[in-house]
């Protein structure tokens, strides 16, 4: 690997001590955001992603509704905001990417920055595949009727495809048309050429948006960050006018305070806070490093965190209003079908001539009647294929992750008037949400490497194109017919534990290696006022302890049960849980190890460099140039001993 200008820091700091101060003279050549609005949109666009639309609503519904919201808000203030402010302040003070920031704080900690880059790379590989899925659905939305509205006919045009009949049209389209998925991760099945083309288009969009650094990506974010809010508001207004929307919202916000005693819910809430803000990726540091020194990063942190929270609440309202409408339609169809069957069974003498519900009863009336039956009668009806029809039961089906976006929500939109219009809006919104987050991920990779390696910086445009090309080639793994199983693997294991380790190391580095109070002193020197002292206690004790507990809980959970993934069984037309084969277990363990390995490796490397430097005899004073040469200032951006490199503006770039 090529050595950076700061690789020999031990010459100035033989014992690996942290730098005496972080606040250096501001280099005039550092690129800057076009405006404060552009910067805020970049931070919001990175933190508000696809997880706000499908992950947060699922967790909220499964874990107590309003009670989960309160728990999430509590952990946001305890874990999220203090660590978010820490990364914002570190990037703005040192004005480097993640590698340069932690190298400057202490050369032995440079591995934290490299670990962030690796995790960003893993996430970018599979995250862009989700954008490719959105592009595929977007392209198929310009049809009337939508291709997932009804089951296709088999070759003789006399009966429907059995796999579709046993599941649903939207489920069939997702697993068979879009993914053409195999039965397990062990069956490759070859490439899905349509998705490979969509993946190439996704990487082309990212490359074009990143080609000129923050000057081009910042302009893209004006649209990609704001457009999703327009779509969410349109969907909310439309959904509230539909039958059953308020039932969905009522179910969503019905509090179940008993969940506060479940440690698993605490772990899920803390993990969601962690990933919602994008901690540990290095993107927050990279974006903040382009700010002027007097920017109020404390207010920025509070603003972005609150925007992120209320966006999650808004998305939850939209999702459950739409799913409430869908569940109402399905439940009403269930009632009508069951009543017809009940009357038919009674006419055949299979049921006693007891009073039956009227044919025009509502879903709630039917449910009250059914729950009033004796246990013997209810069991008899279940054996005959007649069950209860509850809106809550329908809302619990297929509401997690891709199942929410590409199956449940997609099915609900087929029931809308002018369904193609709403489908185009929805998947274009997903495309923009994914794109704004992907731009942040790429900044978390490119900015630290350009700041640390001068030769790369001189070829910024070429380096960006090469990164995107490599991302596309590695991304082909995820567009095999078994590719969705690899997406699930990377999503579950390539980022969770490594990011927990990275952020815990960040908090430890600032709070205990450099010193929380010294860090606050630097912020005070930068901003002209001192942040609240509670941040010092949060960084040193509460936030750090919370991160360690979350890391321990995640390790225990992984150790107690063998990792599994959700596969599609074509014969049964249903999902099933399968254990990862041995080679896949080795791969997911390798992902975790590779992502976290730079932290100890670079620590040991720096110790060896310090030993080598201390073994070199000191130069006698008389051999120096008569001692008259002016000593190099550590505040000089060109100083080789402080890990701080000048960054040229894009205007000076050459291909």
Q: pLDDT (tens digit, 9 = 90+) per residue, 537-594?
A: 999 999 999 889 888 888 888 888 888 899 999 888 888 899 999 999 999 999 999 9
Arithmetic mean of pLDDT, 310-329: 88
- Looking at residue 1, its pLDDT comes to 39
Arithmetic mean of pLDDT, 191-209: 95
Q: How confident is the model at residue 63 (pLDDT cuts 50, 70, 90)?
A: confident
650, burial (CB in 10 Å: exposed 0-12, middle 13-18, buried 19+) = middle
Determine which of 187-201, 235-249, 374-388 has the lowest per-residue pLDDT on average.
374-388
- Looking at residue 2, its pLDDT comes to 39
Of the candidates 26, 491, 553, which has an alpha carbon nearest to the alpha carbon of residue 267?
A: 553
- Looking at residue 18, its pLDDT comes to 57
Arithmetic mean of pLDDT, 362-386: 82
Q: Are 339 and 361 in contact (CB under 8 A)?
A: yes
Determine which of 100-104, 363-367, 506-510 has the lowest per-residue pLDDT on average.
363-367
pLDDT digits (tens, 9 = 90+) for 314-323: 998 988 888 8
SS3 566: strand
* pLDDT exceeds cutoff 90 at 203: yes
Pairing assessment for the beta strands 564-569 and 574-579 based on DSSP bridges:
antiparallel
Share of the chain above pLDDT 70, in %: 86
Determine which of 61-75, 111-125, 156-170 has the lowest per-residue pLDDT on average.
156-170
- Looking at residue 40, its pLDDT comes to 92
606, burial (CB in 10 Å: exposed 0-12, middle 13-18, buried 19+) = buried
Half-sphere exposure for 376 (CA within 13 Å, toward CB): 2
Q: How crowded is residue 149: how many other Cβ atoms within 10 Å of its Cβ?
A: 18
Rounded CA gap, 304 and 48, in Å?
9
Under the phi-then-psi rule, with left for phi > 0, alpha for psi from -120 to 50, and beta for the rest, what region is 573?
A: left
Count of all residues that appear for the chain in the document: 655
- Looking at residue 572, its pLDDT comes to 87
Arithmetic mean of pLDDT, 66-71: 86
Of the candidates 413, 476, 430, 565, which has an alpha carbon nearest to the alpha carbon of residue 196?
A: 476
- Looking at residue 466, its pLDDT comes to 94
- According to DSSP, residue 426 is labeled H
- Looking at residue 218, its pLDDT comes to 67
424, burial (CB in 10 Å: exposed 0-12, middle 13-18, buried 19+) = middle
Q: How confident is the model at residue 12 (pLDDT cuts 50, 70, 90)?
A: very low
Rounded CA gap, 568 and 398, in Å?
13
Q: Are 47 and 304 in contact (CB under 8 A)?
A: yes
Q: For 98-132, b where at least 16 C-beta lie within 10 A, e where not — what string?
A: bbbbbbbbbbbbbbbbbbbbbbbbbbbbbbbbbbb
Half-sphere exposure for 473 (CA within 13 Å, toward CB): 6
Pairwise pLDDT comparison (212 vs 343), residue with the higher score: 343
Written as six digits, the tokens of 641 are 């001993």
Arithmetic mean of pLDDT, 93-117: 92
Half-sphere exposure for 2 (CA within 13 Å, toward CB): 10
SS3 135: helix
Q: How confident is the model at residue 640 (pLDDT cuts 50, 70, 90)?
A: very low
- Looking at residue 214, its pLDDT comes to 67
Q: How confident is the model at residue 401 (pLDDT cuts 50, 70, 90)?
A: low
* pLDDT exceeds cutoff 70 at 22: no
- Looking at residue 248, its pLDDT comes to 83
* pLDDT exceeds cutoff 50 at 109: yes
Arithmetic mean of pLDDT, 604-618: 86
Report phi then psi at 415, rounded to 5. Answer: -90, -10
- Looking at residue 398, its pLDDT comes to 52
Q: What is the pTM of this model?
A: 0.84
């Amino acid at each position: 690997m090529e050595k950076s200008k700061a690789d020999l820091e031990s010459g100035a700091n033989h014992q690996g001590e942290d730098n005496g101060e972080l606040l250096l003279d501001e280099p005039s050549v550092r690129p800057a955001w076009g405006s404060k609005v552009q910067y805020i949109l970049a931070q919001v666009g990175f933190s508000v992603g696809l997880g706000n639309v499908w992950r947060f609503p699922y967790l909220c519904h499964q874990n107590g509704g309003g009670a989960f919201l309160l728990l999430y808000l509590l952990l946001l203030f305890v874990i999220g905001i203090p660590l978010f402010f820490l990364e914002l302040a570190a990037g703005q003070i040192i004005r480097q990417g993640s590698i340069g920031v932690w190298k400057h704080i202490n050369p032995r900690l440079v591995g934290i920055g490299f670990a962030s880059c690796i995790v960003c790379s893993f996430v970018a590989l599979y995250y862009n595949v989700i954008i490719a899925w959105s592009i595929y659905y977007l392209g198929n939305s310009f049809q009337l009727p939508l291709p997932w509205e009804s089951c296709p006919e088999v070759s003789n045009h006399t009966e429907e495809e059995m796999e579709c009949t046993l599941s649903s049209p939207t489920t069939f389209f997702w697993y068979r048309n879009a993914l053409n998925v195999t039965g397990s991760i062990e069956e490759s099945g070859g490439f899905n050429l349509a998705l490979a083309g969509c993946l190439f288009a996704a990487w082309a969009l990212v490359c074009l948006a990143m080609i000129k650094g923050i000057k081009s990506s910042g302009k893209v974010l004006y649209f990609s960050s704001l457009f999703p809010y327009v779509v969410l508001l349109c969907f909310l207004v439309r959904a509230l006018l539909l039958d059953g929307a308020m039932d969905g919202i009522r179910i969503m916000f019905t509090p179940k305070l008993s969940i506060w005693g479940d440690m698993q819910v605490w772990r899920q809430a803390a993990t969601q806070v962690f990933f919602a803000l994008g901690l540990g990726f290095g993107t927050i540091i990279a974006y903040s490093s382009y700010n002027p020194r007097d920017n109020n990063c404390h207010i920025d942190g509070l603003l972005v965190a609150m925007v992120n929270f209320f966006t999650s609440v808004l998305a939850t309202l939209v999702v459950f209003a739409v799913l409430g409408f869908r569940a109402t339609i399905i439940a009403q169809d269930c009632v009508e079908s069951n009543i017809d069957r009940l009357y038919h069974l009674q006419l055949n003498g299979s049921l006693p001539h007891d009073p039956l519900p009227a044919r025009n009863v509502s879903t709630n009336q039917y449910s009250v009647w059914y729950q009033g039956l004796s246990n013997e009668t209810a069991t008899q009806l279940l054996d005959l294929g007649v069950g209860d029809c509850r809106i809550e039961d329908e809302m619990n089906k297929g509401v997690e992750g891709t199942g929410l976006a590409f199956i449940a929500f997609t099915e609900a939109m087929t029931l809308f008037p002018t369904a193609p219009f709403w489908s185009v809006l929805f998947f274009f919104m997903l495309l923009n949400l994914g794109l704004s987050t992907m731009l942040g991920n790429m900044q978390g990779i490119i900015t630290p490497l350009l700041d640390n390696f001068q030769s790369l910086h001189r070829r910024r445009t070429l380096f960006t194109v090469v990164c995107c090309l490599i991302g596309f080639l590695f991304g082909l793994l995820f567009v095999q017919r078994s590719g969705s199983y690899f997406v699930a693997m990377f999503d579950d294991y390539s980022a969770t534990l490594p990011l927990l380790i990275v952020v815990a190391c960040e908090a430890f580095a600032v709070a205990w290696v450099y010193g929380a109070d010294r860090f606050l002193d630097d912020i005070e020197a930068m901003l002209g006022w001192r942040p609240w002292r509670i941040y010092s206690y949060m960084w040193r004790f509460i936030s750090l302890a919370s991160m360690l507990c979350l890391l321990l809980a995640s390790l225990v959970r992984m150790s107690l049960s063998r990792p599994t993934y959700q596969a599609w069984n074509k014969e049964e037309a249903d999902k099933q849980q399968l254990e990862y084969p041995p080679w896949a277990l080795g791969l997911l363990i390798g992902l975790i190890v590779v992502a976290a390995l730079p932290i100890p490796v670079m620590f040991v490397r720096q110790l060896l460099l310090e030993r080598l430097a201390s073994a070199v005899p000191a130069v006698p004073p008389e051999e120096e140039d008569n001692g008259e040469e002016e000593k190099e200032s550590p505040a000089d951006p060109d100083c080789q001993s402080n890990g701080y490199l000048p960054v040229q503006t894009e205007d000076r770039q050459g291909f």
